[in-house]
Amino acid sequence: MFVNNLIPNALSQIRRIYHVINYINIGRCAVKISLAILVDVVDQFALFGHPHKIVEIDELLRSN
């Protein structure tokens, strides 16, 4: 009886781990996109000449 439950339990555990890994990958992707947006924002500030804003954003990034 225990052996019969072992395989389905293992499969459900593998499925859970797979979903967690999926969520982690989605999270990483979101972080990369938001960092790309931030870099773009910094570039825009640089173009329009707001050096103090760049320093603020840089400090924010380093503090997190």
pLDDT(51) > 60: no
The runs of H, that is alpha helices, within the chain are 2-48, 51-63
Helix axes 51-63, 2-48, angle to 10 degrees: 160
DSSP element (H, E) containing 50: none
Query: Which phi-psi region, left, alpha or beta, contains residue 18 (left: φ > 0; alpha: ψ -120 to 50)?
Result: alpha
Report field, pTM of the whole predicted structure over 0.75: no
* Alpha-carbon separation of residue 37 from 22, 34, 40 (angstroms): 23, 5, 5
pLDDT over 60 at 1, yes or no: no
pLDDT tens, residue by residue, 29-39? 888 888 888 88
Instruction: Determine the pLDDT at residue 17.
Output: 86
Percent of the chain whose predicted confidence (pLDDT) is above 90: 0
Write down the domain spans for the chain: 2-63
